[in-house]
Amino acid sequence: MDQNQNNQNKKPDGKSPKSRILVTIVISVAIILLITTVYSTVVKSQYTQTTFSDFMEAAKNDQLKEVEIHSDRVLYMTKEEAAKPAAQQKACYTGLPNGDRLSLARELDELGTTVDVKIVEDNSFITMILSYVIMFGIVFGLMTFLSKRMGGGMMGSIGSSKAKVYMEKQTGVTFKDVAGQDEAKESLQEIIDFLHTPQKYTEIGAKLPKGALLVGSPGTGKTLLAKAVAGEANVPFFSISGSDFVEMFVGVGASRVRDLFQQAAKVAPCIIFIDEIDAVGRSRDSRYGGNTEQEQTLNQLLGEIDGFDSSKGVVCLAATNRPEILDKALLRAGRFDRQIIVDKPNLQGRLDTLKVHTRKIKLAEDVDLRKIAQATAGAVGADLANLVNEAALRAVRKGRKAVNQEDLMVSFETVIAGTEKKNTVLTDTEKRLVAYHEVGHALVAALEKRSDPVTKITIVPHTSGALGYTMYAPEEEKFLSTKEELLVDLRSILGGRAAEEVAFGVQTTGASNDIQKATAMAKNMVTLYGMSEELGLMAPAAVHNQYLEGQAYMDCSQDTYALVDKTVQEILNRCYEDAKRVLTVNRALLDEISQHLLVKETITGEELMSFVNAEKTDLVEAEAFEPTEE
């Protein structure tokens, strides 16, 4: 990646050679004046200060031993001082009023005393000039050096952007490196075609959009797609993050935007990619907060986008995961009027992503990427890339030549649940509680026919803070969930706390995460999915942000609000009671599996199911159990 260099000499802001010379002269003169003043003060302090008449008096009285006449001063030693030991001698200093050294020497000579007179030639004009020239050279060199280091001098570094504008002449990324995302690729294909042969479009008179907005959750590959567009079209790629524009000083962001577009125009056709555009492009109304600096930057951005001639072949791509907070002006026709959705990958997409990232990695025979893809529902491209890398690192650590399935599965857990933390010491009681808690989750899920099978239960603590966890693996991609399935999930989530209470009659803090999750689920059922009798099909909440995991905000009357809370509470209570009933009925099974887990610390879904299937009678009972209807 070659970082872009700005042309510094054209800047009018104090960095042109002329003004640099001027500044250098001023600084040099100041430094030399300072040095001479300091020097003469130091010199004077070594002598006793006297007046010129004192000196003449002493000379006439023949009290002097030596006299040195300089161009501007007279240094002399009295006989009295000269008689003292060398360490205590102090010479005297006085000015030379008329500067006429020769006539003073003659005058002293005519007195006929025994004084020893020397005329000292110093501070010649040449040395003075020379010192100025040398000083000038040093200062000039230093300034040039510093301004290069700091990217344009002290003032320059505030005003203009050397900041993080990266230009890649060739990204080297193509659509082959982007797995899935077929719809996004299709929409971008037109832009690539345009960058290849702009004439084709301009001849007909078609105007291409100047920008497209890539919308999707973090890590879904928006940057990657933008790079791939540049790679496919074989044009340079400029990238900057929206947050780089946001500065403390008003006007700085705007000048960075100006710079960016100027640089891009020079190398057109090219792609400008602005990551996190919401940092600058957020709506200017006060709801999301705003400030002058951000507004100026946004205005400049809008101006630049309107200003550039798209027939030159500059295409501006931007990425965000919060399109709803963007200023409407940005989305108007002729600006980012195209939105390209970059979704989280589905099963096939995940499989393809894994394939892309394992292309250059040696895989062992036993690797089954499809299984990994199945287990990673909800993961984005960045997670998968990370997972594969972790697996490769693990293989190296274990001294293997190829990555095997176990590496992939373990690193999946690392990415999902944090690394195993073997040194967290739990007391035996705590361990028993955690075991029953986790088995509670798993058992409720296993006994409910429609629930996803459990793949793994563990009580090995993880760095994420979870003391243990139960891993559910969806067999197939699910786009829809029925109310019954959601209720089963709820019972399984609450099964942890239920087991604690059934087995020990206690409630622990370990269930806090479960309870939050269950509450959020139940709330969604009531407020978004219309799954309660009390509210029916009314949705008192609106989804605030589709792309950052369904945060909904309530939009209803106080009465409805209260009703929602009551309904959510009822659903949770009912599911909890159901979970407790299942576990009470299957208490023997709960004990048996928990004991086994305590010994082995980790058990697989198959082991769990072998226990469950062995207890035929109990299973029959469990199947006979009907969840209470709402």
Q: Does 500 bind Zn ion (CB under 5 A)?
A: no
Tell me the C-alpha distance between 289 and 129, whole Å: 61
CB of 441 to Zn ion, least distance (A): 6
**Of 278 and 489, CB closest to Zn ion:** 489
Q: Does 252 sit near ligand ADP (CB under 6 A)? A: no
Choice from 153, 219, 440, 510 touching ligand ADP (CB under 6 A): 219
Task: Tell me which residues are annotated as active site.
Answer: 438
Helix ranges (H only) for 418-511 are: 428-447, 483-504
Contact with ligand ADP (CB under 6 A): which of 78, 94, 171, 181?
181
Name the one range near Zn ion by CB under 5 A: 16-24, 58-66, 141-149, 508-516.
508-516
Compute and round to an integer the Cα radius of gyration of the chain: 41
Q: DSSP string of 353-403?
A: HHHHHHTTS-B-TT--HHHHHHHTTT--HHHHHHHHHHHHHHHHHTT-SSB
Q: Does 350 bind ligand ADP (CB under 6 A)?
A: no
Q: Tell me the one-letter amino acid at 312.
A: K
Q: Does 218 bind ligand ADP (CB under 6 A)?
A: yes
- Name the minimum Å distance from CB 383 to ligand ADP: 8
Binding flag, residue 338, ligand ADP (CB under 6 A): no
Please give the size of the binding site for Zn ion, defined by CB under 5 A. 2
Neighbours of 505 (CB within 10 A): 7
d(CA 522, CA 566): 11
Q: Which does 514 bind (CB under 5 to 8 A by kind): ligand ADP, Zn ion, none?
A: Zn ion
| Residue 164 CB, nearest approach to ligand ADP (Å) | 15
Does 361 participate in binding ligand ADP (rule CB under 6 A)? Answer: no
Tell me, residue by residue from 150 to 189, as one string, x for binding to Zn ion by CB under 5 A and - for no binding.
----------------------------------------
Nearest to 469 by CA among 438, 433, 430: 438
Phi, psi of 530 (to 5 degrees): 60, 45
Least gap, CB of 510 to Zn ion (angstroms): 7
DSSP character string of 547-568: SSS-EEEE-S-HHHHHHHHHHH
Closest CA to 590 of 427, 431, 444, 430: 444
185-193, 303-311, 407-415, 496-504 -> range binding Zn ion (CB under 5 A): 496-504
Q: Is 327 in the site for Zn ion (CB under 5 A)?
A: no
State the pairing for strand pair 270-275/454-458.
Answer: unpaired
320 binds ligand ADP (CB under 6 A): no
Q: Give CA–CA dist 276/223, Å, rounded.
A: 10
CB 220 within 8 A of CB 343: yes
Q: Which does 471 bind (CB under 5 to 8 A by kind): Zn ion, ligand ADP, none?
A: none
Span interacting with ligand ADP, options 178-186, 264-272, 299-307, 533-541, rule CB under 6 A = 178-186
Token representation of residue 188: 């971008």
Which amino acid, 136? F
Looking at the Cβ atoms of 232 and 452, the one nearer to ligand ADP is 232
Strands (E), 52-97: 64-69, 73-78, 92-95
Stretch that binds ligand ADP, among 214-222, 487-495, 544-552, 604-612 (CB under 6 A): 214-222
Q: Provide the minimum distance between the beta carbon of 438 and Zn ion in the complex, in angstroms, as a whole number.
A: 7
- Is there binding between residue 242 and ligand ADP (CB under 6 A)? no
Question: Segment contacting ligand ADP (CB under 6 A): 44-52, 71-79, 139-147, 216-224?
Answer: 216-224
Q: Using the minimum distance from each CB to Zn ion, give the nearer residue, 244 or 514.
A: 514
How many C-beta atoms surround the C-beta of residue 175 within 10 A?
19
Footprint of ligand ADP (CB under 6 A): 178-181, 216, 218-224, 319, 353, 356, 381-382, 385
